[in-house]
Amino acid sequence: MAIYTLSKDIKYFPNPNLADETGIIAIGGDLSVERLINAYTTGIFPWYNENEPILWWSPAKRAILYPKDIHISKSMKKFLKKEIYRITYDTCFEKVISLCGATRKETWITKEIKEAYIKLFNLGIAHSVEVWDEENNLIGGLYGESLGKIFFGESMFSIKKNASKVAFINLAKNLEELNFDIIDCQVQNDYLESMGVIEINRLEYLNILENSLQKPSLIGKWNFK
């Protein structure tokens, strides 16, 4: 398998099944709106560190959540019943994406990434979930993109206890009501697994993606509760 080099003029991607053993399919290109949309609709996403060229990924195993299968522990159910936090959508996307990067020791959320996804937000494609405490402080949230009936999750942050879990659970419940097929979490980790996220193979993921993209997209700001 070869890693393809993208020019700034060519916006399309090779077949995602041609990714190398690490999951990398291509290198280079840019983060234009057109290229990002082409990437997600092809089953590919960008992920790279600052001062590195852009790397484009199509891993053999994809972490996904069927919204109806969100796992809520007993302790989390008790926490949610207290209704300590307030949840909003799409009210401060720039703050959310900035905090997703600032609250980590190492982050791939560079200045270029922020600028690119803010453009997607302004087009009604990218979205944020915000979690607020009783003093109206932003203490958690997540962001991602919506195309067809898939939400492509990018990153989340939590400053206070359970804040990111509250955001993720609320998102899953809302997307379940809207008949979304999956939340694409990209790469599995212990935190995601504890929330009900599973791994499927690339072919299964691409089949879900193809079917989902034929369904109407929910474009524009979200006003879920």
Give a yes or no: residue 186 inside a domain.
Answer: yes
DSSP 20: -
Strands (E), the chain: 4-6, 24-28, 45-46, 55-57, 61-65, 86-89, 126-132, 138-147, 150-158, 182-186, 198-201
Q: Are residues 94 and 34 in the same domain?
A: no
Range of the domain at 88: 63-213
Q: Are residues 139 and 32 in the same domain?
A: no
Average pLDDT over residues 169-187: 98
What digits encode the pLDDT tens for the residues 126-141?
Answer: 999 999 999 999 999 9
Residue 153 has pLDDT above 70, yes or no: yes
Top pLDDT among 79 and 103 is at 79
CATH number at residue 141: 3.40.630.70
d(CA 72, CA 84): 17
Into how many domains does the chain fold?
2
Last residue of a domain, one of 19, 44, 59: 59
DSSP 69: G
Q: Percent of the chain at pLDDT above 70?
A: 97
Last residue of a domain, one of 15, 44, 59: 59
| Structure token digits, residue 122 | 């302004």
Residue 225 has pLDDT above 90, yes or no: no
Q: Are residues 97 and 135 in the same domain?
A: yes
CATH number at residue 14: 3.30.70.3550
Give a yes or no: residue 72 inside a domain.
Answer: yes
d(CA 27, CA 58): 12
Q: Are residues 74 and 44 in the same domain?
A: no
Q: Are residues 44 and 79 in the same domain?
A: no
Contacts 24+ apart (CB under 8 A), 173-180: 173/67, 173/70, 174/222, 174/224, 175/67, 175/151, 176/67, 176/68, 176/70, 178/149, 178/218, 179/149, 180/67, 180/149, 180/150, 180/151
Q: Are residues 97 and 187 in the same domain?
A: yes
Interacting residues of 225 by C-beta distance below 8 A, sequence separation 6+: 87
Beta bridge partners of 95: none
